[in-house]
Each structure stands twice: as C-alpha cells, then as structure tokens.
Structure 1
C-alpha cells in the first residue's frame, strides 16, 4: 500500500498540474499562444535560457565576450538562471533527449515550447511538496491535495511563470522549507530543513531573502504559540534552527556567494520616492476579485468567519496569518521590506495564496461539522465583497456564477441527513471548487496576463516575425557573421530587443538584464555619457552612433532597418536588402594595441577628450599622465541659443516649455559647421514638473526619459547628444511640455582626426575559445597591451606562459604589460574566490553529515 501511495500521489499531482494548465495548452494548440510574456519573457527569460544552455553544453561556465560587451555571465545571471536548480534539471533533460531527437535548441521557439513542460513539471513538484506539508499539519489526503492545488494553480503562480519563470520556483521551496520546520518541531528530524535551506540559497539569492523572512516569521509564530504536536523545547528549537540554517547556507556557498556578489557589484540609485502608508483602494488593490497578481477565493473569507473551527491549532494559525497578510497587502511599506527596503514590489503575495489555500483545505476537511446557522452567517461577508467588487470593477468574470452554486451545494451538504448522499454532494462540492479555481485562473489570465495589448504578441508567429527573429534577419546576420573575425563585433538588435545577440548568436553591443557589472553602468552613464534612446538602468545598447566608441570596441559591421538614420560617421553602406541595410566601419581601431602613453582619469574631464585619450593611449586611474592631449574647444560662446515655444525662468538654468511642444534652437556659425563632421552637445536636463515620462528630441534623436519616481530611472541627468553636422546650421532641442532644470554645458566639434591617425602598430591574431582568449603576436614592442576585453576581477593573463596581472584601463578594458619579445598572451577567467567557495560548500556538506550523525536532541517534550 505504501509503495502504491508513493506512485499514486505524484500521479495525482501531475494530473492536477495538467488540469491547471489545460487552458494554456488548448490556446497553444488552437492559436499558438505561447506560455511566456512578450515583454520580459521574450526579451529576457527565453534568450537567457537559450544562451546559458549553449554555453553550458560546450563546457563554458563563466566569462564570454558575447555577453553584451563581455563579462561574467555566471555571476551576472545568478538572479535569473545561472544558479537555478530547476533550470539545471531542465537543461540536463533537454541535453539528453536532444542527443536522439534534435530539438533545435538554438531557436527561441524551442524554449517557448519548453516553458510548458517546465511549468507542468515544476507545478507538479510544488503540489507534491505542498501536499506533504499539509499532511504534516494534519490535513487528510483529499483536503491536503485540494489546498496544494489551490496554492500552486493560482493567479500569482501563472503571473510569475508567464513573465519571470524563475519567480514561481518559490512555490516549490516555500512548502519544502515549512515542511522542514514541521519535521523538526514535531519529529526532531533535521535533514529536510538543511536540504531546504541549501536548495533555497543555491537556487536564487533574491528569493532566498523572501524565504528567510517567511521562514523566520513562521518559525517565531510556531515557537511562541506551541501546539500539542510539538516535541522540541523552545530554546532547543532556536539553537538547532540557527545551526541548521548556517550549515545550509555554507553548503550553498558556491552559488549563493556569486548571487550576492552580482547584487552588490550592480549599481542602482537608491529609491528616493516617498512610500505612502496605504495603496489607493482600486482594482489593483482588491485582492478578492480581479487583482492583477493574486486573487483570494471567497471560500477563504467564509473560513475566516467560521469561528467554530478555531478550536483547531493550525486552523487558528492559518486564519490569523491569512488575516494579517491580507491586511498587509494594502501597505506599500511591506512591499518595500520584502524588496530589501527598496522600491515597493508585490512579489511576496504568494504567501497570501499559501495561507488562504491552506485555510480553505482545513475548512473543507471539517466542513460537515459546521452548524447551518454559522454557515449562513459566514457566507455573507465574502458574498458582499464579491458583489460590490463586481459592481465597482467593470470586468465580467464567469466564475462569479459558479460561486452561488458552490454555496448552495455546501448548504445542501449540511442540511442532508443521508450519509451516502451527503458524501456524494461533498465530493461534488470539492469538484466544483477545483473547477471554480480553474476558471478563476483562466479568466485572470485572459483579462490580465493576456490582455488585448499583449495577446497579439504572445504568439509563436510573433517570435518568427520581423519584430523579433525573422528568417530574413537570420539570413542577413549569418552573412555578416561569415565576414567577422573573433575580435570584431556587430551592432544590431531587433527594435528594442537588447538581447538579440543572445538568440541570434553573435558578438553584439547590447544587453538587457536587471543585474550587470556596475563598472558598465558607470562607463555608459557617467564616464562616457552614452545616452540610450530609452532610459533604463537595466539596459545598455549601441554607442549612441558615436564613431570613436564603435571603433574602440571593434564594431566592424552595423545593421539597421532601412528607415533608421542613426548611423555613425565613418560607416559606409555595403549592402541593401530593402528592409535592412548593412554598414561597414571604414576607420576601425586595432583590437590589440601596445602603447606607453597614459592619461590619468583625473586629467581629462570632457567626454570628447576621454574618447580621444582612449584612442591615443590608455586612460588609467593609477598611472600618471605622460603625454599631451590637445583638448577639444568648447564652442558654447560661439553659438546662439534661443528658446522656441518655451521661456527661460532663469537663464540657462530653468526652462518652461509650453504645449504642445517647444525647446531650444542652437545656431552654429557656418565657419564652425564646416570644420566638423559631428557635434557633441553636453547638457543637464531634469524635468521638475509634471511627474511624467518625457522626451528630449535633438535633431530627430528621440530620447525617451522616465518619470521622476520610476524604479528604472538611471538618475543620470547629465546628458550627451551626438549631432551630425546639420545642413541648416541648427540644432533643434524639442522637449515635452513642462518645467525643466536645463543647462547647456558645452558644444564640441569632432573632425575624427584622432581616429584617422590610428595606425596598426603590431601584427597579431586573436582567437576566442570561450574559456580562454589568445592573442598571438607576430610583432611586439615594450609597453602595455590594451584590448577591449571587458575587465572583471578574476581575469588572468599568461604572457608567454607566465602569469601576469591584468589591470583596468580605458574605464572597462583590460591591460597587460608586454615586451618586444612577447609572442602570446592568453586571457582566462575564474570568478574570484572560486576555490574557496568550493571548499566552503564541501565543508558545509561534511558539517551536515557530522551534525546529523553525532549531535543529539533532548528527548523532552515542550509544554
């Protein structure tokens, strides 16, 4: 019987998971609706899964030059999948079956289909662990499975899975962690909790924090308010839970450390916007009807008002936790606490789903003991909430008609005397609750997750279209890839898809990730003021059509849609396919340069001089300046600036722009205009009022800036604009209506003489083998080699086999001293402290085994 049960329960969990996903499976088969959001899902999740799989199966685990401009993808993608256990299980299975079935894992379409299988598997495991937990707190099989189904197959599970698939891993690890706590408190078994802590901290450092808070709250509540099932004294609980937690974290060191490191070395401005005490009570705050994230079933409200059942410890515990969490959902402060006291994020609401689902399971288990009068009273609050919500929120939901059917069937169960008939109706009631929950998630996903603005893009046809990854794009990029060498890059992305290089497999110049190295943030937004068209702290892309930077980072080819005009100077058209144009850089800078010229970073302030210094030599934080740079002239006092459709409140400090639009006109004298190919316009622009997204349009370069309190704002308002020398001698600055802090700091001309004077001083070959990058020198000289391999701590160089220190130069490049006799320089990367972290994880495993074997508990029951 036990053997049959071990098979039967997981099968039931799988069938329930399939039932919960049936709506999505049907839509996929019917019209190709994918199981991922067209925003972050297609822009981040699927490209990253594809990218990491391609790296891992080749035995490459840490650094790559095609990770944006280059970097440590193992560390930077720890927030996503690089340490994710579910992902590892997935790719091992994919790799195995791909040996026989040829899945075409290099296409996003495969990973879009794969999302269905992963979610069904993941939710099955989550249902199973939840079932085991609910059984541990004394629910019977039916009620435990019902509670598990309601928790996992919930609105928030599908919201998480569709948009950020790794978010929904919490549905596995929360019940596993709580199961570990209960096993210890009730049975003195410690292994489950240690395993749970280790897995949680390995899987995702960010949600480890969520679980830390949730586990601590749960443990403290269970420690203070004990049950008759507890067998371990309070003080002993604290000693061992702290010990087990530390051991679990030590085991996770190899993965958890790099997740934390990625977070700490990322650079984001602190969230300065005020956090109100309460959210306005609108549709998004109503968690009982059509909330965009979580929907509390009306049965949970009935359960809360069924006071007769409060004689059970766990019923009372879950009821109180549900009430507290539901109340806390209305205050953004708690959202901020769970998000590390940063910008409020409602990612902890899965806890509401967990406790309300568990409460419903307990309610159904003892349902037949409820007096009719109390039942009738208990249905009133929930019914009123739903009716008022239905009237106030103008969205029709079909499940509102199932609700009275469940109420009537429930009343009939309590009224009927015949045991067989009562049992039959009781079973019908449970079946109706399953269908009711299924319809709740179906309607929620149709109205909220797949709303009309998203539904058209959430299709397989969208993935294969020109707005994402078309055959024509693949054909053009493959042609260009055949031309580039290992040391050259392609500047191309599909519209705003900054992770295009990940899924079209080339060395690009863009990346979209919530976390990447802070040095790149500084380089883009502070050091070189590369002003992206779409402001975002999570992205970087291209070089703002600045020819100097494109050449310094070895952009050899550039591909643009035929209508796009943001082409850097010194790029010539070499191919026109009607829809797309390909350009070649005619003034490249050699990938390998050896120089003895240094410019200290403190001695060069203007952006154009920084570019010239990087071309002439190496900008360094450590070395003194040893060559003279002809500084670019600020032309500000030679141009005329006038307001148009706007007025200065304070000259060159504060500007009021009138509707419908206005700004500034900068007139450049003809004699100056003829001298330069481009102009660099340096300004401070910061909107004061209103609080809104706004646009700064400089000679048709439309720069979209985020509203003042946006979580994704860069907070860099010193902006640079590259302007092609205008035919009409005018630079037009258009602004969205509003009041701005605006100061024009400078205008500089660029004639590209520095770029034209670059000579290939050494002969070399470069080979990128993923795990190592090799520079073979046919000729060399004494000096410092500088290469546009993005510097990271942990990067090592071997000069003719001898280990040599790599230093940072030109803000983010790598430099190595060489001599005239140097033949080869090999670059390798290992994350810092890697061997130490491996050792710590092994020590953790040994400590766990010793602790479980030799450390005994007191055999005294807690009273």
Structure 2
C-alpha cells in the first residue's frame, strides 16, 4: 500500500469527535449571545417575512405533496400560489431561500409553530458541514489533524458566519460546496473519479443560483492555478495539454449543470427580465478613502462596507506572515492571496462577482477558505522557522500593525484588540525554540489564541458593535409576527370569494398573506415578476423597489383594476381610506391595536370584461394619469378584434407656487438643500371630490459635501480656522455613501407619505426615477403640500407637477366593467376555473400577473392568452356562455427536466465507461 493510500484510509474518527466537541462549545457560546438576551436567530428585517416564512411555507408545501401522493393517491406539485404577492410562481420565488437546498427538506418534519427551532438548528448545521467539507479537502492534501482542526475553526467562525450567516442562513451554503468543488478539481487532475466534482457542482447549482455564479468563477480560477501546481513539467504545459484538460472540465461541468437544470433553468431565465438585474449601477474606480484606511485592520477586526465581512481570527494573519517569509514555496497560495486582496481593493471586481450588479463583496467566504488553508498548510513550518525567517515575520508584523493602525479611523476598540491578539500570536511563533521548545506547548498556545480570537469576535459583534442583537426578533415571537392584524381583519369578513385586500400604514409584516392564506397587494422577495415591475414603472408607483412593495398607494383606480375588495386601516385612521370604501366588514385586535377592514360594493372580481380595446402604441403615448384612466375604459393589447376606443380624460394639472423654507433653494429643476429637514411648500387651488397627486419625473439625488452646503457669502465671513475645520470635515466626507439614497416626506392636511429616492450608487437600485405620490382622496379641495427633505443634497427633477384626479366618472366606468364578469371562480392546485356569460364579444381580463406558464382553455379548447394592461392576462371571448379553465406550469420547467434527464443519462454513461476502462487496466492473472 502506497503512502497516499495509507493516508486516505487512516482513521479520523478521533478528529471528527474533537471537531464536533470544539464546534459544539463555540456554537453554544455563540447561541447564548442570543438566548441570554431573549433573542431568536431570526433577523427582523428579512428573516421573518422572507427566511422564516419561506421555511415554514416549504414544510407545509412538502407535507401537502406527500398527502396528495400517499393519502389522495394523486401526484400534484403546486407550482403557483395566489397568496404570494399578486400571485407568484412558487419555485422561482422561494428557490433563493429554501427550494433546492437539501437541508431545508427537514422542514417536512416540523410544524409551523416549531419552525423557529429548525431555523436555528439549520444555521449551525450549515456551519458545521462547512467545517466538515473543509476538513475533507485538507485531509485529501495530507495535512495533519492538528492543522486541519485549527484551520477549520478559522474557516467556519470568521466574520462571514458570525455576522452574515446569522442574518441570511443560506449565506453559509457556498462554504459547504466550495471545498468539495475544489476537492473534485484536484481529484480530476490526479485522474481519480470525477464524481465529487460533478455532484458538488450540481448541488451548488440547485441550491442557490446567486452563489452558484460566484462558485463558477472561483472554480475556474482555482483550476487554472492548480494546473500549474500539479503539472510542473514543460511538456505538460503545452497548448495541446491545456486544451485537453479544458475539454475534460468542460465535459464534467456540462454534466453537472445539466443535472441541476430542473431548478437552474426555470429560476435563472426570469431573473434576466427584472429591472433590478437590468439596472446600470454606479461602479467607482476606487472605494472611499476610509475603506482603504481601515482595510488592513478590518481583515482581522470589524466589518468592512460592501459586505467585506472578513473578521478572521488573528492567528490566521500570523500564518500569512510565515507563508511570505518562506522563499520559493507555496507560490500558488501566495499568488491566490494577492489576487483575492486585489479583488477586495478594486470595486469593479465586486461588481463582476456580484453578477455585474451593484458593488458587493459577498464572495469573501472564498477569501476565508484561502486564509484558513494557508494556516493549515503553513502550520508545520511554525515549528521550524530559522532566525532569518523569524526576522522577516517580525518585520511584517511591524509593517502590518503600523499600516493597519496608521489612520485614526482604523484605531477602533475592536481593531486595536485584534492587533493585540495578532502580536501575541506572532510572538508565540517567534519565541518558539528559545523561550520554550516543546511542540505541545506551541500547539496549545496557538489553540488558545485561536479560541480567544473567535470569542473576541463573537463578543464584539454581539456585545459592543452597533447593538447588532437589537436587529433580531424576540425569541418565540417571530411566527406570531406573521399572523398580522391586517390579515386577521380580512379573515373576519368570512368572505369565501376570491379577492384582494389593500392597506395603508396597517401592515405589520410583509408577506403575511402567504402565511395566513389571504390575497394582498404586498410582496417582499428577492426575485419579482418583470410584468409587475413594468406596470409599476408605468404608473409611477411610489416605491423605489421592484421586489418590495406594500400597497397601491391608496389609488382608487389601481385598486379597482387589481380586484381589491377590502381596504384595511388601523382604528381611527380613516383619513387613509381611498374613495369608495364605506362599509366596515371585519375587524381584529393585535398587540393592542385594532385593525378594520372596509369593503367596497364597486370592487371588481378576479375576471371582468371590456367591450373595446386600446392599442399598446397609443397607450404608451399617454401621461401616467391618462394611462390609469384609460385602463378603466378599454383593455390595452398589442392588437385585438374588439373595436378600438379613444379614452376620455378628466384629470387636471394644477398650477402651484413655491414657498421656500430655510436651507432650501429652487432653480432650473434643481432643489438645493443645505440643511437637514428643510421644507418646501407648494401652494395651489385643488379640485373637490378628487385624489391629489404630486408627480415627480426624472427625480434624482446627489449628496452635498459639507463645503458645498456653505454659500460663498457665508464662506467669506468665516475665519481661516473655521474654513480649515470645514475643509478637514470635507476631506472625510464620503461621496459614494452619502449619495446612495434620500427621501422626501410629503405632508400637509393629510397623512404623511414618503418618496424614497435610490441612486445608481445604492445596492437596491432598479432604475426608478419617476414617482407619483397620492396625497389621498378628499371631498374638499386641497390647498397645499409640504415637502420635507431628509438630508442635504441636490434634488433634481425633469418635471414637478400637481395633478387632481376627479372621482366622478370612476363609479360609472367600474360598473360597466362589472356588468359581465367571471363567476363561480375556484382556485385549485395550478388551476383557476370559472364561468361567464357574454351578450357580445368581449375581452375578459383576469387580474393575475401575466406569465408564460399559464394555458387557457375555453369550453375545453385551448385559447390564446394575451398580456393585457401590461401586468395582467386576458382572453378574447365570443358572445355566449363559456367555461374557463386556466392551468399553470412553471415556465421552462419541462426543458429543465429534460436537461436533468439528459444529465442523468450522461452521468450513467460516464460511470459505465469508466468502469469498462478500469476493467481493461486490471492485469490478467
């Protein structure tokens, strides 16, 4: 038996027991930070409405599938759910969070009320498995158990897990797949079985498309670096050899991607059509100066901006010093370390690695594996440094500490403490061989310093830094948060028909309808429907997000078009009510607050009809207020057999005067604000019985530096000392960060609303610059609107208008659409059915977001389903009585299944071919 075989078969049970024990102790200490403070591990912002909600939903989803198979004896997989937003595809919406991740399958065994415990368990399970995967990679390269144990703990208890994986549990998933993929690459180069590579890539593909993209890039980089490590002979580095290996990896990669096709294809293609993906974000040539000033210290200290969450325990940097102190060895590790640091220092790298979207270093877990493996690889060298190498290490320590703490901004308590640990770690290495000589003592000291570094990072993250724990939901209350008073009030109506509800300032938790089984106008997930985003853009809906919206801004016409039957407000806040909601239908109490659901007799059902149409090209020429009026008069289609109509409009643009407040000037489409909370008053004579809109087109924001906020007159009056003070403050002002976003509060004799402006420098930017803020419906005419600006800066606009939309025609127009409607509407698994009777040919609009996944059958015959009114679906129906059936299948799911079957077939063929070749290699006896 050769040496390599002996090493691979050596028992490592003791290692995994010790690793599990060490992980358990550190994990317990980490968990206690939450438990002793009465907190759950669920981040309040995204964790409750997205992560926990999705996990609980997925458990119910899996149980329903099993029930249909084993109890009802039918195979039905729900693919579409009306309770998610306006109606959404289940796979494409929830893949980013749960569907595809093998670990979330455990939710099938856990009831919704116990999901919080599963959620916490899965966070630590992912981190534990990441350490196991890293260990397997290290052991393959014949590293010692001591080194691997220390390296594993460096890898899994860095800032990425302590901070990021607690907020977003699936952020730990790529840490599991990366070591396995790299291990697979090593095996292929050494002509071993390629199965580890194929299945780890395939699992990464079905687990999360976002991190799969990053893994793909680093997989290629690693394969390129590793090639020159494995093949040292010049004859093996020819173009022909490189081409051969490219073909080998391409073949295995194709098989892996094909295997993942069942999820990867349906999920990726819709993402390309979203505004957030297509938006052109600002990518600076360099980061802000303070980023570079704090960069070195943040590697082992506090968190960097742009998701540069490093926080590696200090002894890992000692390993880097030793690496570079050794000449002519581990060249690939040195090159990799330098390359990844360049990636962290150049914003364009963060742009590319984030899918050519906003600048983000969410790939830093790769850096974590590299720095952990550097320590593993260099660990034996700690025991045999000569005097020259120790001098180099000492010089590097001095240079690093001096450079890291040179800037005043970097000298925070956390960074200073990290430097102290680094000095201690390096000192232990330098003193070995003189002050103490036993290897066991050095090992214990390094282990102790590692533990101290990890506990130090945990302590600062949860006890000292930014009150981080306050961002997490209280223990035992997260699931209860999803049971919102808004939904309870709607359910109190006991209305079993198909409808939606809307609300203003009454939604305690996004996506609550998904949990409660109601239909709302709110949505908050990372992937959203492109047609909904397009409609919201046309309507200038007052939200800067494409994937996060809470209501239709109380706009009566939009509520009618969306089949909104109930409008929910908190008790006594009736000023939020739009036009047409008069009857109290349901109410509920939640956390001491009363929620009331008011109904409208004029509400449109899920399917209503038009007797005429508006060509799309004519519709696009209209103003935003004309468009919403047009949608009540004719259905908007590319073409139609219905008669064409010319809509009539009664909105009026109202002239206004501007009364400027202190710290605010207006000139040539630019509002210059030099003071926080500066006000601007718009005075006008509005219309009675109207909704009054503030419309801003081309609205954008650019921050003003402290120097720019001072007028030339004031600057000249300042003393030289005061000018220098201001210039010093100006030099530390961060343009990129300060110009990311701003808000304008719209107030007056009506409930306040906020226009949020995201610039191309902000990570949630989706290209929105046109906003319509509905100041509400009133019988009396409005006279003024007050704008309050959140922060100093230049607020620019192409047009600023006040428009009044009278309500007098809306009732009559709604009644016309409501004459012949879809009845007996029933929602089944992937199916919507109903009946309709028409006195003439009409266009039936179904207020469900358009998707290529729907197929329509009228009287049993497939009928063309058209995209109508930008967002919805429509059928053109002849006169008479009709039965309607809509069936849904996730778009590209069938091609995805075909790809997976093809991948499975290729994989089987590969296995048989390899078995046959191996048999030929066995010598005959």
Classify the TM-score, shorter chain.
0.7 to 0.9
Q: How far apart, CA to CA, are the structure 2 residues paired with 1:560 and 1:265?
A: 34
Residue of structure 2 equivalent to 1:115: 119
Q: 1:261 aligns with which of 257, 260, 269?
A: 269
Q: How far apart, CA to CA, are the structure 1 residues paired with 2:135 and 2:781?
A: 73
Residue of structure 2 equivalent to 1:29: 35
Instruction: Give the number of aligned pairs.
Output: 828
Deviation at 1:29, TM superposition (A): 3.2
Q: 2:635 aligns with which of 618, 626, 629?
A: 618
Does residue 1:851 correspond to 2:910, yes or no? Answer: yes
Spell out, residue by residue over 1:39-86, the C-alpha distance to the aligned partner (whole angstroms, 9 max, x if none): 22234222222233333432344211111011223123333333x323
Residue of structure 1 equivalent to 2:55: 49
Deviation at 1:463, TM superposition (A): 3.1
- Report matched runs for 1:203-214 at 5 Å: 203-214=207-218
Q: 1:95 aligns with which of 104, 108, 112?
A: 108
Q: Is the 8 A contact 1:410 1:429 kept in 2?
A: no
Q: 1:596 aligns with which of 611, 615, 626?
A: 611
Residue of structure 1 equivalent to 2:580: 570
Deviation at 1:210, TM superposition (A): 0.7
Q: How far apart, CA to CA, are the structure 2 residues paired with 1:490 and 1:744?
A: 28
Spell out, residue by residue over 1:592-627, the C-alpha distance to the aligned partner (whole angstroms, 9 max, x if none): 223432122332313333333333341212237725
RMSD of aligned Cα (Å): 3.4
Q: Is the 8 A contact 1:139 1:365 kept in 2?
A: no
Residue of structure 2 equivalent to 1:684: 697
Q: How far apart, CA to CA, are the structure 1 residues paired with 2:856 and 2:33?
A: 53
Q: 2:520 aligns with which of 489, 492, 508?
A: 508
Larger mean CA deviation between 601-610 and 163-172 belongs to 601-610
Residue of structure 1 equivalent to 2:542: 531
Deviation at 1:178, TM superposition (A): 0.3
Spell out, residue by residue over 1:408-432, the C-alpha distance to the aligned partner (whole angstroms, 9 max, x if none): 55455433787xxx24314413431
Q: Is the 8 A contact 1:253 1:840 kept in 2?
A: yes
What SS does the aligned partner of 1:208 have? helix
Q: How far apart, CA to CA, are the structure 1 residues paired with 2:458 and 2:846?
A: 54
Residue of structure 1 equivalent to 2:733: none
Spell out, residue by residue over 1:180-217, the C-alpha distance to the aligned partner (whole angstroms, 9 max, x if none): 01111124321111112222222222212111110111
Distance 1:761 1:549, change over 3 A: same
Spell out, residue by residue over 1:461-507, the C-alpha distance to the aligned partner (whole angstroms, 9 max, x if none): 66378xx4468667545424x33523344547865743232334321
Q: How far apart, CA to CA, are the structure 1 residues paired with 2:165 and 2:204?
A: 18
Q: Is the 8 A contact 1:188 1:231 kept in 2?
A: no
Residue of structure 2 equivalent to 1:145: 149
Distance 1:517 1:307, change over 3 A: closer
Q: How far apart, CA to CA, are the structure 1 residues paired with 2:908 and 2:247?
A: 18
Deviation at 1:550, TM superposition (A): 1.3
| TM-score, normalised by the number of residues in structure 1 | 0.87
Spell out, residue by residue over 1:191-245, the C-alpha distance to the aligned partner (whole angstroms, 9 max, x if none): 1111122222222222121111101111111223435799986454222111111
Residue of structure 1 equivalent to 2:682: 665
Residue of structure 2 equivalent to 1:244: 252
What SS does the aligned partner of 1:306 have? helix
Residue of structure 1 equivalent to 2:101: 85
Q: How far apart, CA to CA, are the structure 2 residues paired with 1:751 and 1:234?
A: 72
Does residue 1:273 correspond to 2:282, yes or no? Answer: yes
Distance 1:570 1:239, change over 3 A: same
Deviation at 1:649, TM superposition (A): 2.3
- Report matched runs for 1:58-207 at 5 Å: 58-59=64-65, 60-82=77-99, 84-86=100-102, 89-91=103-105, 93-96=106-109, 98=110, 103=111, 105=112, 107=113, 110-207=114-211
Deviation at 1:648, TM superposition (A): 4.5
Deviation at 1:4, TM superposition (A): 9.7
Q: Is the 8 A contact 1:787 1:813 kept in 2?
A: yes
Deviation at 1:693, TM superposition (A): 0.9
Spell out, residue by residue over 1:410-463, the C-alpha distance to the aligned partner (whole angstroms, 9 max, x if none): 455433787xxx243144134314413421431353268x73265264422663
Does residue 1:20 correspond to 2:26, yes or no? Answer: yes
Residue of structure 2 equivalent to 1:290: 302
Larger mean CA deviation between 357-366 and 277-286 belongs to 277-286
Residue of structure 1 equivalent to 2:567: 558
Q: How far apart, CA to CA, are the structure 2 residues paired with 1:775 and 1:144?
A: 63
Q: How far apart, CA to CA, are the structure 2 residues paired with 1:230 and 1:567?
A: 78
Q: Which runs of 5+ in 2 are unaligned?
A: 1-5, 66-76, 704-738
What SS does the aligned partner of 1:345 have? coil
Q: Is the 8 A contact 2:82 2:88 kept in 1?
A: yes
Q: 2:373 aligns with which of 336, 358, 370?
A: 358
What SS does the aligned partner of 1:265 have? coil
Deviation at 1:512, TM superposition (A): 1.2
Q: Which runs of 5+ in 1 are unaligned?
A: none
| TM-score, normalised by the number of residues in structure 2 | 0.82
Q: 1:438 aligns with which of 449, 454, 457?
A: 454
Q: 1:693 aligns with which of 738, 742, 758?
A: 742
Distance 1:515 1:72, change over 3 A: same
Q: How far apart, CA to CA, are the structure 2 residues paired with 1:174 and 1:763?
A: 52
Q: Is the 8 A contact 2:137 2:183 kept in 1?
A: yes
Residue of structure 1 equivalent to 2:707: none
Q: How far apart, CA to CA, are the structure 1 residues paired with 2:59 and 2:160?
A: 27
